[in-house]
Amino acid sequence: MNEIVEQALPLWGLSGSDYHLIAARENEVFRVATAQGGVAMRLHRKGYRTDQELRSELAWMTAVEKGGINVPAPVPSASGEMLHVVGGVQADVLTWLNGVSVMKRSETLDEKGRAELFHEVGRQLAGLHNIIDAWIPPAWFTRCAWDRDGLLGDAPLWGRFWENPLLEDEDRQLFVEMRRAATADLQCLESSLDYGLIHADLVSENVMIYENRIQLIDFDDGGFGFRMFEIATALVKYRNERDFPALKVALTKGYQSVRPIDLAQLDLFMAIRAATYVGWNIERINEDGAEKRNARLITDARDLARAYLGK
């Protein structure tokens, strides 16, 4: 991708700038040196998002940053465009945010400190949703939907989790049962649930701390969805931590200190969120370490499906 970076740099007036790869997961992200310190250039994986979807993401991030939440701010190119296609690859540039992830910071804290951190994360999530709800998107705005179909339909956004090829028959039957029950519950409940734009992937790696400020990064999977799904996403990977009950209380109370939300369906969305990861891993089943990761994801989804179903 270095050739693409070299072609993209002049578009942002950055010809000759030093750069290096810092992440190569879903997208490739390069840190580009500037006189002000640095920016992040993202090269998007082909076929995942349309140009309109990416321009929508950038418009949304701009609104969130202006609203007072610490997120990477899109940087316009010399022509004023936020997105360019270079050699068939979509490229954009964001401001660089320093910091460490919530996961790394929490490892250095005692249980009281961890709870305080999660309380602040909850407050920031609620603030994000408040800003989003006050914002009027442009008419051309389009993003994916983490709605009932996007989570549990015939073609979920992250894959048909009940068809993961490494599932044992018992787990497959459990996930089919969970999907059926969750679909029925959402059909009855969805009109009363808080729904709107969500980040959709606020796992601990995407929540960063810098000088005691919470920063939210990686809006790649953001779209329309249930706000309870957002909370479940922030919590689900901590469910095996010894202090998980305290972290759950802290995050939800932090959220509720800024914005009301009914927590009655948290178990439902925890089960759904865990199941989405089982679907997400299907396309990555041949990666190094994917089989071990798959086993862990299935175990988590199994436990949460059983808890939701009352088994």
The set of long-range contacts for 102-110, using a CB threshold of 8 Å and a minimum separation of 24, is: 102/204, 102/207, 102/208, 102/209, 103/204, 103/205, 105/209, 106/204
Domain boundary among the residues 95, 116, 131 is at 95
What's the CATH code of the domain at 228?
3.90.1200.10
Q: State which H helix or E strand residue 296 sits in.
A: helix 290-309
Q: Return the percentage of the chain with pLDDT > 90, whole number.
A: 93
What's the confidence (pLDDT) of residue 1? Answer: 66
- Check whether residue 260 and residue 143 sit in a common domain: yes
CB contact at 8 A, 87 and 3: yes
Domain boundary among the residues 61, 95, 129 is at 95
- Check whether residue 74 and residue 125 sit in a common domain: no
Digit-coded pLDDT (tens) for 14-60? 999 999 999 887 899 999 999 888 999 999 999 999 999 999 999 99
Strands 144-146 and 223-226: parallel
Closest C-alpha among 40, 78, 47, 87 to residue 61: 40
CB contact at 8 A, 204 and 237: yes
Place of tokens 């006050």: 134
Spatial distance between the Cα atoms of 162 and 274, rounded to a whole number of angstroms: 12
- Check whether residue 157 and residue 232 sit in a common domain: yes
The number of distinct structural domains making up the chain is 2
- Check whether residue 151 and residue 75 sit in a common domain: no
Half-sphere exposure of 124 (CA within 13 A, CB side): 26
What's the confidence (pLDDT) of residue 190? Answer: 94
- Check whether residue 234 and residue 138 sit in a common domain: yes
Q: Which residues contact 206 (CB under 8 A, 6 or more apart)?
A: 101, 199, 216, 217, 218
Q: What does pLDDT average to over the chain?
A: 96
Query: Does residue 213 register a pLDDT over 80?
Result: yes
What's the confidence (pLDDT) of residue 269? Answer: 98
Cα torsion angle, 54, 47, 291, 166, sign: positive
Question: Which domain does 9 fall in, by range?
Answer: 2-95
For 252-272, what is the mean pLDDT?
97
- Check whether residue 148 and residue 266 sit in a common domain: yes
pTM of the model: 0.94
What's the CATH code of the domain at 85?
3.30.200.20
Digit-coded pLDDT (tens) for 238-260? 999 999 999 999 999 999 999 99
Strand ranges of the sheet holding 84-86, from the earlier edge strand across to the other edge: 19-24, 28-32, 39-43, 89-95, 84-86
- Check whether residue 69 and residue 185 sit in a common domain: no
- Check whether residue 115 and residue 81 sit in a common domain: no
- Check whether residue 114 and residue 214 sit in a common domain: yes
Strands 28-32 and 19-24: antiparallel
Query: Does residue 64 register a pLDDT over 70?
Result: yes
**Is 47 strand, coil or helix?**
coil
> In 10 A of CB 22, how many CB atoms?
11
- Check whether residue 240 and residue 284 sit in a common domain: yes
Query: Does residue 79 register a pLDDT over 90?
Result: yes
Spatial distance between the Cα atoms of 212 and 195, rounded to a whole number of angstroms: 29
- Check whether residue 236 and residue 177 sit in a common domain: yes
- Check whether residue 77 and residue 222 sit in a common domain: no
| Size (the chain), residues | 311
Domain boundary among the residues 64, 95, 126 is at 95
Task: Report residue 291's pLDDT band, with 50, 70 and 90 as the boundaries.
Answer: confident
**Is 184 strand, coil or helix?**
helix
Q: Which residues pair with 43 in a beta bridge?
A: 28, 91
